[in-house]
Structure 1
Amino acid sequence: MKLLRYGEPGQERPGLLDSNGRIRDLTDLIGDLSGTALSPESIAHLQSQDVNSLPLVEGNPRLGPCVGKIGKFICIGLNYADHAAETGADIPKEPIIFNKWTSAIVGPNDNVEIPRNSKKTDWEVELGVVIGKGGRYIDEADALEHVAGYCVINDVSEREFQIERGGTWDKGKGCDTFGPIGPWLVTRDEIADPHQLNLWLEVDGKRYQNGNTRTMIFQIPKLVSYLSQFMSLQPGDVISTGTPPGVGLGIKPEPVFLRAGQTMRLGIEGLGEQQQLTVDA
């Protein structure tokens, strides 16, 4: 099942994509795709519905972030062995954790703003994991039971802010519009193995990233269990699981960074595609 949110920013309504690629409205069943609406019980209830009986949404509305009211937007750094190699970093012994502020979240096709004074805005296609069942101290063997589904995330990053300005990575990761999420949340049952998915990203039609989730250093059960040792995970929390090689920072002999007026296009096998225009903030 492909769940989504559609409508103008701040006024999104819940929906799903039917087998013909049309949006069906879920407003009569859930208030939003957030919190307990993402629980196993709620997902099972939605899956039991006759999709063709749900109201059809006409036209081509904007798609919003596929999860609403996100409580925590947790990210994992250097989680692909081949990406760590391109940056010259050692393989982490434990997951590297940082945050994106929820004010960074936008829809999958919304504009991405190049921050004022930015010189090194970069791209990162990532597999997003959406928590459906909360918990603390989750056993790795049970971790996938806590996952509602998966989505595409562009972990847009300003490298000077992140690396050269002191402190933590967060200041270069959480700028407004730096977290496009969607187009839809694909429920866990539709993805046979989240560790065998191709993912890619292009800028102005040039393919920069071309990877597969099989090269993750820490896989999803490990990440969910590990994070739950340090914080409670709650329904609607989103985990961005790291990026494969091909980021602008790693390009040789000279890094390549984004400027206003460019188009990013990215996707993950089975999870859909995003497209963003870069604009000056």
Structure 2
Amino acid sequence: MASAFRYGEIPGVSIGDTFADYDAMNLARVHRASQGGISGGKDGSDSIVVNGGYADDVDDGDEIIYTGGGGRHPNSRKRHVADQELTRANAGLLRAYEERQPVRVIRGSNGDRRFSPASGYRYDGLFGITEVWPENRKQDGFRIWRFRLVRLGTASVPAPKSDPDETEDDNTSWTGGRQVSLVKVRRGQRQFRAGLLGKYGLTCAVTGPVPKEALQAAHLRAFAEHETHKLGEGLLLRSDIHALFDAGLLAIEASTGTVVVAPSLRDHSTYGPLAGTRLAISADLMPDRFALADHYEAARARWALEG
């Protein structure tokens, strides 16, 4: 029987403790899943096993890029037969990321030889998830979910610098860290961004494909006023485009899906040429047209006032 869900350290279990098999880990409560690399479900995931289960995993000791569960052929760690979904234990890891919860890392003997035990499994301490993103495998094009984890020490790890729109303070620490700070956090923003990444991939709706570090989750209706995250009312935008969009200097004409720029930007060498271009997303992925129209009308009203 699986033990109770619990984030953080387990009383009586120390870094370096070894376990013969899953039954032993489950009995010690260090990894509550009876099988599988991720312990948890949609409400949160509290531990992972790094044991060479997916060929895409990267283990560098104090930093791990971990592949989510699902999509793989049951008899092959390299062959995928379906996209991974952001559900069940994968959704739990996303929730741990969003809530800044520490994740226990256990390494198995089939993982990277530099960091893995000679046999069985070894508890290697607490890690924090610093980034979550989807990507398509080069080998077959199937989507996988990726989780970057960094070992937690005595100092807190800052919020990811690639997601500046996700919180109003980059000093938020994971539960269990020593730093305490009072911050106003946009709850659900990281999940919102992850959902938009799953929907649109690594594509700015205005300018096209860009690295994930440059993409931000934009609300068509100001979050400060509505405090809701709706995928149908969101777009992925390059950071500079996002700033212009929020400032009402760039908008989207809903009926045609074309970009409109403020009069003050029409002679700008970078942003002026965007006027009249069509969105870089397919018509079936267009966000809510009423929300787009509201943003567009508000922007036009501002331009009229500015003369």
Q: TM-score range by the shorter chain?
A: under 0.3
Q: TM-score, normalised by structure 1?
A: 0.27
Structure label with greater radius of gyration: 2
- Higher RCO, Cα 8 Å, sep 6+: 1
Q: TM-score, normalised by structure 2?
A: 0.25
